[in-house]
Amino acid sequence: MKRSFRSLAIWIALAATAVATVFAPPSSQDVVASADAMRKAGYTPQVESGRADPDRVLELEPRDLSDAPSDSFSSTLWPAPRVASVRKPSATPPPPAGPAAAPTAPPLPFRVMGRYVANGESTVFMQYNERTVAATEGMVIDDRYRVEKISGTAIELMYVPLNERQVLALSSAN
């Protein structure tokens, strides 16, 4: 018995939906009615042949809401928007840029941690990209930097991609 009552309720709901669908007004009437209301309020669209004019912008006037009705569901007619012209940027091309600057080597990414001298040969310990490097003369680091010369106060490095010499002070190393 329960099952037949449920079936009956479902069939009644289905029939009510079908009847409402058949007798519902077409949606285009709603659109026409709202367009008519806008025309009565003084709004005239600025669109011709389905395309908007790009030189015209609609500006809405601010509205004082302090005198708004207390009924939240009352209908409101908004004032017609003003149309303002938009100034297009000038069509003159920007001036040509000067000659491009020659590429230069980036700042040295090394931090000197210490120096070790054995048998007259110096080894400088440096931090490079979160790893420690023990640099000696002639060594190439990461295919980018070649150690040219290690003296008592500085280490000379060659930035290999641009063949540019850079100097790193060893004053903090002991």
Q: Is 151 helix (H, G, I), strand (E, B) or coil?
A: coil
**Can you give the pLDDT at residue 174?**
47
Mean pLDDT of 82-86: 65
Listed residue (61, 64, 105) closest to 84, CA to CA: 61
Highest average pLDDT, of 44-58, 78-92, 127-141, comes from 127-141
What whole-number distance in Å separates Cα of residue 52 and Cα of residue 86?
13
**Is 0.75 topped by the overall pTM?**
no
Which alpha helices (DSSP H) does the chain contain, by range? 2-23, 27-40
| Residue 161, token pair as written in the block | 């991609």
- The DSSP code for 144 is T
**Can you give the pLDDT at residue 47?**
52
pLDDT in tens, 109-139: 999 999 998 988 899 999 998 899 999 999 9
Share of the chain above pLDDT 90, in %: 33
The CATH code belonging to domain 110-169 is 2.30.30
Specify the higher pLDDT residue, 94 or 65.
94
Cα separations (Å) of 162 from 30, 65, 104, 128, 169? Answer: 71, 67, 7, 19, 21
